[in-house]
Structure 1
C-alpha cells in the first residue's frame, strides 16, 4: 500500500518558492514519460485498476522503465492511499509495448508483474493506449522525508504538485 501526501500547487512561481525552502537544488532530477494501457473493452478500468509504464531519464544515466499496477485508489484531504505494485521492465521491451500494446501478453511470459496483469484481468481482444503525460520530478531531502516536486505536462497545460510518501501521513502533512 502506497500512502502519500499530494498537494497541488497553484503556479510555477509557487513551486519554485517551495523548492527554495527544500534547498533549491534537488538531489535527483527525473524526466518521466508515463504511458497508460487498457483492454479494448475497458477491462482494467472495470476492475478499478490502472496499468502504467513509466520511462525515466536522468542526466548521465541510461533510461529506466518501470511497470506499475495500481488499484483501489482513495484521495481524502490530500492523503492518497493506493494499492501499488511496481517492477523494473527491460527498456527495449517497454518501448516495444509502447509502440504496440498488443505485445503485453508476449512480454508477460518473462515478466512477473505483466504476467500477473494478464492472468488477473484477461484482455482477450487486445490492449490499447489509454493516455500519456510527461513529468519533470525533482527530489529533495527535507527533514526525515524525501519530497518529490512534480511539473506535469498535459495537452491542456501544466500541473504542479508536491508529494511525500509516509507511513504517518498526518504527521508529514502537518510538518509540510
Structure 2
C-alpha cells in the first residue's frame, strides 16, 4: 500500500517572543495561514499506540476539509524527525460523525482505515475511542527555496512554538535554520517529542 517517509527538521522556539520575532522576520516570505484541528483515535486496548502508530483526523478551513492520516515508526533525533505516513482527504461531514461516534471510522471509504484493519489488526469489535487533540495555527513561508512552517500549537496545558521544514537533506536545512535563528538572536532547542507525543504525555513542561 501507499506510504511515504516524512523527513522534517523540527526546532522548538523557547518563548512566545521568539515566535513573534520569527514571524516578523519571515513576513516578506509569507504564503498562507492554516488553522488545523487535530483529533486522534485508538482502540480501548491501544492497538495502534502499542505498535508505535497513531490515527489522526485533521480538520481545516473551519472544518470544511478533513484529512485522515496514519503515522507509524516515528523517530526524532537531534531535531530531525522521520516517520512513515499515509493519508488522504475524506468527507468532512462524515469525519465529524466519526468524532461523535468513532466506530463510524469503519464506514469511511478510506485506504487508511483499510490499512489499520489489515496491517495493524484493528477490528471494529474492539471499539474505537477519540483521544482528544489540539489546535494548531500554521504559518507557511517560501524561504530560500524551502517551504518553511512556523507552528503555534495550543494544548490544554500550554502552548508550544516550533519551526519545521520537510526536506530530503535535513542536515543541510538544519544548518541553514540554525544559522538564521542564531544571527537574529532567536532562542531554540531541538524538538524532543512530536506534537502527538506531547499531547499524550499531557505535561505542562513542554519540550
Same fold, TM-score > 0.5, yes or no: yes
Q: Contact (CA 8 Å) 1:105, 1:118: kept in 2 or not?
A: no
**Runs of 4 or more off by more than 4 Å in structure 1?**
none
Instruction: Quote the residue 2:95 is aligned against.
Output: 94
Judging by fraction of residues, say which structure has more strand. Answer: 1
Unaligned 5+ residue runs, structure 2? 178-207
Instruction: Quote the residue 2:79 is aligned against.
Output: 78
> Residues 1-176 of structure 1 correspond to what in structure 2 (within 5 A)?
1-23=5-27, 26-57=30-61, 63-107=64-108, 110-120=109-119, 121-123=121-123, 124-176=125-177
Shift of 1:55: 0.2
Give the count of matched residue pairs: 171
Shift of 1:7: 0.5
Q: 1:159 and 1:31 mapped to 2: Cα distance? A: 15
- State the superposition RMSD in angstroms: 1.4
Q: Contact (CA 8 Å) 2:29, 2:143: kept in 1 or not?
A: no
Q: 2:89 and 2:52 mapped to 1: Cα distance? A: 22
Shift of 1:158: 0.6
Structure 2 CA distance for partners of 1:89 and 1:173, relative to 1, 3 Å: same
Structure 2 CA distance for partners of 1:155 and 1:24, relative to 1, 3 Å: farther
Shift of 1:122: 1.9
Deviations 1:70-101 (A, max 9, x none): 00000000000000111111111111111111
Q: 1:146 and 1:103 mapped to 2: Cα distance? A: 35
Unaligned 5+ residue runs, structure 1? none
Shift of 1:12: 1.7
Judge which range, 72-81 or 110-119, deviates more: 110-119
SS of equivalent to 2:164: strand
Q: 1:166 and 1:77 mapped to 2: Cα distance? A: 15
Q: Contact (CA 8 Å) 1:33, 1:54: kept in 2 or not?
A: yes
Q: Contact (CA 8 Å) 1:65, 1:94: kept in 2 or not?
A: yes
Q: 2:39 and 2:83 mapped to 1: Cα distance? A: 18
